[in-house]
């Protein structure tokens, strides 16, 4: 256990069914942190302030045509362009103000593109002139694109040319969309034909710049104004539009100051490649540019990220567990392929540095020079901190990356509804398996979950307090609710202002938070994808050979597995068709051919019903005893997931030990 104190309880704050309320140690007896400076309460004020402080510093960088260097724009240049774009939108009346719900005055401006300098320039234009960004992932399917356009009642969409064709799918409802603004010129004729056919107005980025030469004064913006929607994964229904305010983003900036991230590092360079519509990437770029950091954009192909890194030379590297897992696998493969003395040197270096991690030491004079400076160059050679978010990361991968990249690695925790960052580890903490402490802009508590046997009065194996329960957050980063969905908002934020995350945590003796489970019937895989197991199970139950099924996903793994109660009659029929001899049904459950055929039936049905690849169970275990006899069901035949997980933990571990099928 680390000797770092991450959070402390407010005296006498424990109530029945809840833990004490915990805060950052420095904010126990004062108001939660709200803004980094008295006059910085909105993104408009934050960015304009940065432009005054760092007028000639590099702001946004784009790879040149040869893809061997970056073309940079200074803070002054980006501010000027943002002023022109914001003024141009107003002068052309592309995003008229609307009051559709709860008397909110919003000017919706959509963006559908990969990360690029125009994307972030548009974001700052909205911050200057009180626009509300509606970002769409460039990987969205046609139905979701149409849903977002309709739900937000978008009239204007900024777009890059390579995704324009996605708008013409029969499943994409364009609703009231009137105008496209292309970041690129030379649009394909087929797309121009569709634009004309559908009566859409087309502008180019340069047209908006030209229209903005008659500059407007900055809009008056309040901290509670909605800067952006963030559409959350719709696994049990359509996506929900989380409303993120200026206050939320500013609170993230000041919250980060209470951590050891050191976002104000001199000459900071960040490579932006994680999708900007995701709250994790969005909060990073807004937070670091308060300090005058430089943001380089990747070349647009995630598979060529390794080519962008040595050109951008980032000092801060943020990613998700799935990508860190890829780095881990590739580096391990190279280490395994080494021969003779080199392999021996690598082994000794790994062992020595792993031992040094116990003392929070991530560098080694000898072995870094001989081995690990080469692996460090994979990220460009200049990274001083790595951060992982979006989903839990394996402690094994986290420690390995510290060793081979020769720098600290921090894991954080948050969700869209808390503006993405709520807890973070300390840079000097050698321990793993937790997400550190709460930031200064928030407080948290754990709420009992009796049905899952988690309570704030729990004890550990040694009889010491080990509070467990649903993680609840309150403070300045808690979002403004779901647009047009008061019912879901009230389900998520209670009358006392507590955001109920649906995640289950445990408080360690030093106030660190450990994520241990998920309350809602939904799980998140290591690549950040959400899966609704009930939806998948309802489909699989119709597959030949399946009587009952329990789908499970470990948040440290990138695929789901399933425990299948086999239909004995269907299994017998498969055996007969394949001339398989058996004495009883248990023998059939152990037969590889029977298992593979039932698995194939499940997968084929899932494909037919439109399941995405990550929703499919990649490995299954055949069981012969019904779930009710295993005490995994209620009297009304509903599956109790936490009990099923306990009962089948050994089988689940075995399925994951086999690895993901190739």
CATH no. for residue 562?
Answer: 3.30.300.30
In a domain, 65, yes or no: no
Last residue of a domain, one of 501, 518, 535: 518
Shared domain for 421 and 512, answered yes or no, is yes
Do 217 and 360 have their domain in common? no
Q: Say whether both 560 and 513 belong to one domain.
A: no
211 and 80 within one domain = yes
Q: How far is CA 253 from the centre of its chain?
A: 18
Answer yes or no: are the C-beta atoms of 594 and 653 closer than 8 Å: no
CB neighbour burial string for 245-266, b if at least 16 within 10 angstroms, e if fewer: bbbbbbbbbbbbbbbbbbbeee
Domain check: are 560 and 618 in the same one?
A: yes
Show the 3-state SS of 239-268. CCEEEEEHHHHHHHHHHHHCCCCCCCCCCC
Q: Establish if 240 belongs to a structural domain.
A: no
Given a contact cutoff of 8 angstroms between Cβ atoms, the answer to whether 384 and 316 are in contact is yes
Same domain for 403 and 498, yes or no, is yes
417-447 tens-digit pLDDT = 999 999 999 999 999 999 999 999 999 999 9
Q: Which residues of the chain have pLDDT under 50?
A: 235
pLDDT at 236: 53
Query: How many domains are contained in the chain?
Result: 3
Asked if 333 and 475 sit in the same domain, the reply is: yes
pLDDT at 451: 80
**What does the pLDDT read at residue 392?**
82
The helix or strand, by DSSP H or E, that contains position 541, with its residue range, turns out to be none
Q: Are residues 328 and 458 in the same domain?
A: yes
Looking at the fold, whether 548 and 489 belong to one and the same domain comes out as no
Q: Is residue 355 one of the residues assigned to a domain?
A: yes
Claim to verify: residue 469 and residue 338 sit in the same structural domain: yes
Q: Is residue 270 part of a domain?
A: no
Domain boundary among 477, 501, 518: 518
Q: What is the rounded radius of gyration, in angstroms, for the C-alpha atoms of the chain?
A: 26
Residues 6+ apart with CB under 8 A from 12: none
DSSP 568-612: HHHHHHHHHHTT---SSHHHHHT-HHHHHHHHHHHHHHHHHTT--
* Phi-psi category of residue 484: left, alpha or beta, with phi > 0 → left and psi -120 to 50 → alpha: left
**DSSP-derived pairing of the beta strands 22-23 and 8-9:** antiparallel
Residue 17 to residue 631: CA distance in whole angstroms:
26
156 falls within a domain: yes
DSSP lists the bridge partners of residue 226 as 245
Distance, CA of 130 to CA of 295 (rounded, Å): 23
Q: Considering the domain boundaries, does residue 235 fall inside one?
A: no
Domain enclosing residue 624, as ranges: 523-657
Same domain, 374 and 506: yes
pLDDT of residue 234: 53
In a domain, 12, yes or no: no
Distances in whole angstroms, Cα of residue 178 to Cα of each of 99, 152, 445, 608, 661: 18, 13, 46, 35, 46
Q: What is the CATH number of the domain that holds 427?
A: 3.40.50.12780
Same domain, residue pair 533 and 512: no
Task: Classify residue 260: in a domain, yes or no.
Answer: no
Strands 617-623 vs 560-566: parallel, antiparallel or unpaired: parallel
Instruction: Show the beta-strand stretches assigned E in 92-240.
Output: 108-112, 132-136, 156-159, 179-182, 201-204, 226-231
**Residue whose C-alpha is closest to residue 231's, from 310, 148, 132:** 148
Q: How far apart are CA 23 and CA 429, in angstroms?
A: 19
Asked if residues 156 and 179 have their Cβ atoms less than 8 Å apart, the reply is: yes
- pLDDT given at position 419: 96
Which of 172, 205, 221 marks a domain boundary? 221
């Amino acid at each position: 256990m680390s000797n770092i104190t991450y959070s402390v309880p407010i005296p006498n704050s424990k109530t029945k069914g809840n833990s004490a309320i915990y805060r950052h140690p420095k904010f126990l007896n004062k108001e939660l942190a709200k803004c980094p400076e008295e006059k910085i309460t909105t993104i408009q004020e934050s960015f304009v302030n940065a432009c005054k402080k760092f007028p000639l510093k590099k702001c946004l960088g784009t790879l040149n045509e040869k893809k061997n260097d970056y073309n940079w724009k200074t803070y002054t240049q980006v501010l000027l362009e943002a002023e022109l774009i914001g003024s141009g939108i107003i002068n052309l009346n592309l995003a008229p103000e609307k009051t559709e719900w709860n008397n909110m005055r919003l000017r919706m401006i959509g963006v559908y593109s990969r990360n690029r300098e125009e994307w972030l320039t548009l974001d700052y234009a909205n911050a200057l002139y009180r626009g509300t960004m509606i970002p769409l992932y460039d990987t969205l399917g046609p139905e979701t694109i149409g849903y977002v356009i309709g739900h937000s009642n978008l009239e204007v969409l900024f777009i890059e040319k390579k995704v324009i064709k996605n708008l013409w799918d029969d499943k994409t409802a364009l609703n009231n969309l009137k105008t496209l603004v292309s970041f690129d010129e030379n649009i394909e004729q087929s797309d121009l034909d569709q634009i004309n056919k559908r009566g859409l107005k087309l502008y180019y980025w340069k047209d908006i710049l030209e229209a903005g030469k008659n500059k407007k004064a900055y809009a008056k913006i309040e901290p509670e104004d909605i800067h952006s929607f963030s559409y959350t994964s719709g696994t049990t229904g359509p996506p929900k539009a989380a409303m993120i305010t200026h206050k939320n983003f500013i609170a993230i900036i000041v919250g980060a100051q209470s951590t050891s991230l050191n976002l104000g590092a001199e000459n900071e360079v960040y490579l932006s490649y994680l999708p900007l519509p995701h709250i994790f990437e969005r909060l990073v770029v807004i937070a670091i540019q308060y300090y005058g950091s430089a943001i380089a954009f990747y070349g647009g192909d995630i598979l060529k990220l390794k080519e962008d890194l040595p050109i951008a030379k980032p000092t801060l590297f943020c990613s998700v567990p799935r990508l860190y897992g890829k780095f881990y696998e590739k580096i391990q493969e190279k280490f395994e392929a080494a021969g003779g003395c080199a392999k021996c040197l690598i082994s000794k270096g790994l062992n020595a540095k792993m031992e040094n991690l116990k003392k929070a030491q991530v560098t080694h004079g000898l072995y870094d020079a001989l081995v690990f400076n080469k692996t460090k160059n994979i990220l460009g050679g200049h990274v001083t901190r790595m951060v992982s978010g979006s989903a839990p990361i394996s402690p094994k991968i986290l420690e390995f990356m510290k060793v081979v990249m020769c720098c600290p690695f921090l894991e954080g925790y948050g969700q869209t509804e808390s503006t993405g960052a709520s807890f973070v580890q300390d840079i000097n903490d050698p321990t793993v398996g937790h997400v550190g402490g709460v930031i200064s802009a928030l407080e948290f508590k754990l709420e009992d979950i009796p049905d899952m046997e988690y309570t704030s009065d729990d004890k550990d194996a040694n009889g010491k307090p080990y509070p467990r329960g649903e993680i609840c957050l309150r403070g300045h980063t808690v979002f403004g609710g779901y647009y047009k969905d008061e019912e879901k908002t009230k389900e998520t934020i209670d009358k006392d202002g507590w955001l109920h995350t649906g995640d289950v945590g445990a408080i360690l003796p030093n106030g660190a938070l450990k994520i241990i489970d998920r309350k809602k019937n939904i799980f998140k895989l290591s690549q950040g994808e959400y899966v609704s197991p009930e939806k998948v199970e309802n489909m699989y139950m119709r597959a030949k050979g399946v009587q009952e099924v329990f789908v499970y996903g470990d948040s440290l793994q990138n695929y789901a597995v399933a425990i299948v109660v086999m239909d004995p009659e269907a299994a017998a029929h498969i055996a007969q068709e394949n001339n398989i001899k058996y004495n009883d049904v248990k023998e059939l459950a152990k037969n590889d051919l029977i298992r593979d055929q039932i698995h194939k039936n499940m997968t084929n049905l899932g494909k037919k019903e439109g399941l995405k690849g990550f929703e499919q169970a990649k490995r299954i275990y055949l069981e012969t005893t019904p779930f009710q006899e295993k005490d995994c069901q209620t009297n009304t035949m509903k599956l109790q997931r936490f009990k099923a997980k306990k009962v089948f933990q050994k089988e689940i571990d075995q399925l994951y030990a086999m690895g993901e099928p190739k």
